[in-house]
Amino acid sequence: MTTAKLETLPETAATQSRWGLAHEMHPGAVEAARQKTRRLVGRVALQTTVQINPVAAELEQSSSTLLGSLRAAVAGDCAAKESVRLNTATNVAEMLYKAGHQTRVELDIVAGKLMQGGKSLTDIQANSLRYSELNDLMRRRTEQELENAHTFEELLGGDVLDTHDAVVFSLSPDDAQTKQKYGFFTETETCSIQLIKKQRHDKLALETALVAGKSHSNAQRHDKAAIEALAARRGVTIELADAEDSLRQVVLVPKADLPNGVSDIVREYDAATKANVFYGQEIDASASRDYQEHAKECELKNKSFDSLVKKVTTQLLEEADTLLSPSAATKRLHKLTEQALVKAAITDSEIDERVFGDQAAMYITRARQETNSGNTEKMLELQQKAVETAVASACPMFFGGESKNSMTEYDPLLMLFGEDKYGSLAFRCPAKNCLNVRSTNQLIESCQGCGASVRC
């Protein structure tokens, strides 16, 4: 850490009070982070390629994975159980909210390392490289996120975070295939704004705000232009060649300019869109835009799901012995969260049913109507259909080569309907992943959910 501090540019009253890019203001710290990232990526690649059994076993038991935390929690480790709960709470928020929401978690500082729920922030990022199937674009994004985690630690060691907060914008990819494969929510083209804020000598806060990258579902994206304009208004030059370029721009902001944390960055983002938006989404001209009040509402929303988080966490712990790999643990967390939230959406109309996919959204809407009519039996039938057809996404991921159109353990519903001379009676359409169930020995031409052609 001292090396990074010596290689940074001298701090003056002028630099402490201005916005800037980390790689320009503190090039030594960023270069040190880049070198650490290259070495770690190389180690991960070697472990993955060689596949040495003892190493693989050690990684699976590591407390830096959800699986490791689950096993430690079952053995009585209270810190590991809290880590599992934090994973579940994060998964709930990421699955439910695609724009107009924010979260805050505390990070511990231990020997110069940033720790989240007892896990090293850099190890958490490295695990995405170890256990996720990533295409070239997503691998580059993940490696850059790992470099950013190292950069935060270098800035911390150089005392930069005593005077500045660090801000990173993560945009939805430009590539349509990547967005579809990894579950990015195209209705909003969500942009994640992360803020690292030092609280005291042993604590940092990681605040994340989700804003829309376009004002409504049919609008053109405004996210890149907004970020460039936001920076320009503060004397910083950012020119984004593509969506991924935003991750390479760690913006340093004087603490005095962000008294309300990430909400203040959201305010600047909205102002830079030159449109009547709130968290990037179009609103009526007369609508309130109280950012501080909205932040409080987000905090209350997060707390309102505490009982659901506890229920999912408990079930995940009960199933820990059946989960044999880190990816299996992540999949199961995703599925349990999805099921619980679909059921919650039936009685909570504030949950946006669209996040579960078009077909599940239809069943949720109808189930709400039956609930209002007092028809419990019909509601439960529709609720089950919503659970079976939900295709929600949390942190963008692709489950190890599996396709939601294939008959896998992740989509067991298709195996329940049997086969005939044409093949499986149940299938999902390639357009919107809708579930179709045809009669024996009869073909259908149009998707039963969205109407797309399924003749082939």
What predicted TM-score, i.e. pTM, was given to this entire model? Answer: 0.80
Q: What is the pLDDT of residue 47?
A: 67
Residues 268, 227: Cα–Cα separation, whole Å: 9
Please count the other Cβ atoms lying within 10 Å of the Cβ belonging to residue 97.
Answer: 22
Q: Which residue has the tokens 């939601």?
A: 404
Structural contact between residues 342 and 356, judged by C-beta atoms closer than 8 angstroms: yes
The strand pairing partners of 207, in sequence order, are 104, 195
User: For 401-413, what is each residue's pLDDT tens digit?
Assistant: 333 333 233 344 4
Q: What is the pLDDT of residues 39-55, one digit of tens each?
A: 999 888 776 655 544 44
Distance from C-alpha of 456 to C-alpha of 448, rounded to nearest angstrom: 15
Q: What is the average per-residue pLDDT within 226-232?
A: 97
338-349 pLDDT tens trace: 999 999 999 998
Q: Is residue 14 very low, low, confident or very high in pLDDT (cuts 50, 70, 90)?
A: low
168 or 436: which leads in pLDDT: 168
Among 2-16, 85-99, 137-151, 182-196, the minimum mean pLDDT is found in: 2-16
Specify the length of the chain in residues. Answer: 456
Number of continuous H segments (helices) and E segments (strands) in the chain: 17, 14
Q: Which two tokens stand for residue 380?
A: 């439960």
Let me know: does 29 contact 8? Beta carbons within 8 Å: yes
Q: Which residues have CB under 8 Å from 112's CB, separation 6+? A: 1, 153, 156, 157
Q: Encode pLDDT of 342-381 as tens digits.
A: 999 999 988 989 889 888 999 999 999 999 999 999 999 9
CB of 89 closer than 8 Å to CB of 305: yes
CA distance 94 to 314: 20
3-state secondary structure 177-226: HHHHHCCCCCCCCCEEEEEEEEEECCEEEEEEEEECCCCCCCCCCCHHHH
Cβ 124 vs Cβ 117: under 8 Å: no
